[in-house]
Chain A
Amino acid sequence: MEDQNNIVTMEHITKTFPGVKALDDVSFHLSCGEVMALLGENGAGKSTLMKILSGVYTRDSGSIKLFGTEVEGDLTPKKAQKLGVAIIHQELNMCAHLTVAENIFLGKEIVKGRILSNQEMNRQAKEVLDSLRIDIDPQTIVGTLAVSKQQMVEIAKALQAEAKVLIMDEPTSALTSKEINQLFSLIRELKAKGCAIVYISHRLEELQHIVDRVTIMRDGKFIIENDFHSMSMDKIISYMVGREIKEKFPRVTTEKKEKILSIKNLNAGKMVRNVSLDVYKGEILGIAGLMGAGRTETTRAIFGVDKKESGEIELEGKQVSISCPDDAIKEGIVLVPEDRKRDGLCTKLSVRENVALPNLDVICNKLGVINRKREREIADKAISDLHIKLPTREVNASSLSGGNQQKVVVGKWLARDSKVVMFDEPTRGIDVAAKVEIYHLMNQLKQQGIGVLFVSSEMPEIMGVSDRIIVMCDGRVTGELMRSEATQEKILAYATKFENKFENENL
């Protein structure tokens, strides 16, 4: 591999966190003008390896060669930037109070004399955004943007740095398909310019559009490095998980039974308008739609997180009133939220305490005293059912890798008897094997006669798992399809059925 094109060479890298050997003698090579996919299960060490390359973490041992010269001592973010390494982090890293332009130029502000040249920065930020075909005013406050837009700003920020090595850690997990298309054409342009790109993603189907080579890791160890096109997808998956995955979308058929949940004319803010839907025992109801279609808001309104303006909720034929999540949980309706960092986990509490949190009513006696044995049992069961990878159940939730954190968020709801479980993008950012585990889990719930509501932005997944699909657009339900009749085209047609504003005004 020692040709002069080789601009990154990492050899024998090890890194240990308390209780975890995150990297164990890993090697990684990157040549200019190529897109390298870095693949592996959750917790394989992908992010850690890239954080070492970009100076966020320091390595315990091993060597790094950048552009042919050995890196002496530790890298810092600033040093890495100067050398031409830019990274788009897996977790959003924006200053929410600052504007888009201020974020893009943070740490490398343009000054005239000693005074900030805001005009110039706004102008250049606009240029970068335009080159990405992102329609955002550089003067908007980042905190007011949707997650997908923030992600695009992150990308713009990395581009602005004109890096020669660009690391993208799951850049598409929050993007819309239009934005993904833009990103891919951009990646091709950069590649043509000789930029080297490291691309980390769990969405294996998108790799074929851009990737040249793959590096696969498992459990902190280097497994293989190869040309992408010489390997089949199944091969890649088996390297990642160490075994064959038989079915990507396991399916069980159960008889559709009586109606369990019925939502009538729900209104909650701009994003939920006149939403009606029914969920039956023994089926998985998928909700499809583009980003920003209001699916998250619908689940939040049902769960009582956001205020409802009007509408009725019937559970098993009886009308229920839900004004806060606690009401919903008591009625037996639960929600696995979309944004695990913000809404899902208490990161300073242990995994045990996180799993126990919504189930305290079950594991407490009448006086509210916690039965610690039952608490441990519940936690252990969730850990083993979902194959959560961790040293002990007492570690802080913050120390788990992204995918394992997601499993904890799912796990805490499985310990109780619910009637309806709503999953909002439960597989975002988790690996194939873990995805299949979550599908199995939804199937299990379905078999137990629990109503399952499943929000996803990934077409194959929603078609592969749901029994019935409703499609939302702009806060309204625009269509409903049985699995047998669903195609990508039909879903997309419904998902883009925007209201005709003009007609609307005449009504």
Chain B
Amino acid sequence: QGAKEQASGGYKVYLITMDQMDQHWVNVDKGAQKAASELGGIDYKWLAPDIKDDAKQIECINNAVAGGADAIMLAANGPTAVTAALKEAEGAGVKIIYVDSAANYPAVQTLATDNTAAGATAGKELIKALNAKGVTSGKIGIISVNSATASTVARENGFRKAFDGLQFTLLETQYCDGDAARSKDMSANFITQGVVGLFGANEGSTVGVGNAIAEAGKSVIGVGFDKSDMILSLIKSGNLLCTMAQNPDVMGYEGMKTTVKALKGESVGASYFDTGVSVLTKNNL
């Protein structure tokens, strides 16, 4: 099946992300574009639903198949929802590669951050800083996107695990829909409640945490997730301790390389490619 497409001008590769809003996805796209232009002869297109929604992501997959895809690089919204659509896609001869987050359906390769592990790393960083201040107990607040996004839920869970067996109390997670202003309000409420540490599970949540700490004074320690200009400036000013920076460009770049290898029938190596996180602090910026 793939041969027919090839004749009419290279491989058709689609990148399908969760939505189109985050800088994160843009960086995945950039990486993929870079690899595509390096490799040449690839008809590459980025499809994304307007909002994060399983049904809409499935529609995107169906559309990509209808559009004659040879391969799909997918950032799955959740592990289960898309599996049947992927089965249909594979039935139509489409190769599947996961970037950022995988679904429960076998694929060529998964290139992702291990969100649970990264969440735990964030937790450990926070514990280390609190202990350094002599704080060994108290309340901890978590701000996340919503309870339906698998990746942030995994970060939240990893973060909570890091506190197992310690004297800290983890309060009910607050969901801000990724809205930095709402996260700021929620963080301020947490601070009023007397928390000693705060965790933001994505970019918007982290910005809110940082701003709330900046205003309340630095008695509370904040850690976050993702890298953006605003987050970096909050780290520089000491309002955030650190952030877990993912490498979305690597996901896109390496993902595209894997895709082309798979389409050419070459070996792609291990089925899991950890793109890693780096802990960014004031010191290593």
A–B: direct contact at CB < 8 Å: no
